Structure 1
Amino acid sequence: MTTRKSLRVPSLKLIGIAAVAGIVAGAAAVYIREAGSGNGRTQTASGECAATKEIAARIAPLLKGQVAAMVAPDEHRRLTTVSFKGGDGKSMTLDNFAGKTVLFNLWATWCVPCREEMPALNALEKELGSDRFQVVPVNIDTGDDEKPKAFLSEIGVNALQLYRDNTIEVFNSLKKEGLAFGLPVTLLIDGKGCLISAMNGPAAWDSDDAKALIKGAIGS
Structure 2
Amino acid sequence: MLAGLSLALSACDSGAEAPGQEQADLAAQKASLSGEIDDSRAGDLMPAINVSDPDGKKINLGALQGQPVLLNLWATWCPPCKVEMPMLNALAAENSDSLRVIVVSQELSKPENVLAFFQQKQLDNLHPWMDPEGLIGKALGANVLPITVLYDASGREIWRVQGEYDWSSAETQEAIAAALAE
**TM-score normalised by the chain length of structure 2:** 0.76
CA–CA distance in 1 between the matches of 2:169 and 2:42? Answer: 28
User: Match of 1:77?
Assistant: 44
Note the residue ranges of structure 2 that are not aligned, 5 or more in a row: 1-25
User: Match of 2:85?
Assistant: 118
Q: Secondary structure at 2:88's aligned position in 1?
A: helix
Contact between 2:71 and 2:150, CA under 8 Å: does it hold in 1? Answer: yes
Spell out the pairing of 1:160-175 with structure 2 (5 A cutoff).
160-175=126-141
User: Match of 1:219?
Assistant: 181
Give CA deviations for 1:99-155 in whole Å, capped at 9, x if unaligned.
11111000000000000111000010011112x311111001122421011011101
Note the residue ranges of structure 1 that are not aligned, 5 or more in a row: 1-9, 19-27, 29-66
Q: CA RMSD in A?
A: 2.4
CA–CA distance in 1 between the matches of 2:132 and 2:172? Answer: 28
Deviation, 1:204, is 1.3
Spell out the pairing of 1:36-185 with structure 2 (5 A cutoff).
69-74=36-41, 76-86=43-53, 88-130=55-97, 132-175=98-141, 180-185=142-147
Contact between 2:42 and 2:158, CA under 8 Å: does it hold in 1? Answer: no
User: Match of 2:172?
Assistant: 210
**TM-score normalised by the chain length of structure 1:** 0.64
Give CA deviations for 1:52-101 in whole Å, capped at 9, x if unaligned.
xxxxxxxxxxxxxxx7x111125512124233224652432223321111
CA–CA distance in 1 between the matches of 2:83 and 2:175? Answer: 20
Aligned AA (2:132):
N
CA–CA distance in 2 between the matches of 1:189 and 1:155? Answer: 26
Q: Secondary structure at 1:119's aligned position in 2?
A: helix
Deviation, 1:11, is 5.8
Contact between 2:48 and 2:63, CA under 8 Å: does it hold in 1? Answer: no
CA–CA distance in 2 between the matches of 1:195 and 1:74? Answer: 7
CA shift in 2, pair 1:86/1:190, >3 Å: farther
How many residues of Structure 1 are paired with residues of Structure 2 in the alignment?
157
CA–CA distance in 2 between the matches of 1:173 and 1:219? Answer: 27
Q: Secondary structure at 1:188's aligned position in 2?
A: strand
Q: Secondary structure at 1:182's aligned position in 2?
A: coil
CA–CA distance in 1 between the matches of 2:93 and 2:62? Answer: 22
Deviation, 1:187, is 0.5
Aligned AA (1:214):
I
Q: Secondary structure at 2:103's aligned position in 1?
A: strand
CA shift in 2, pair 1:76/1:11, >3 Å: farther
Contact between 2:54 and 2:111, CA under 8 Å: does it hold in 1? Answer: no
Give CA deviations for 1:181-212 in whole Å, capped at 9, x if unaligned.
10000101111111111121111112221112
CA shift in 2, pair 1:75/1:15, >3 Å: closer
CA shift in 2, pair 1:109/1:95, >3 Å: same
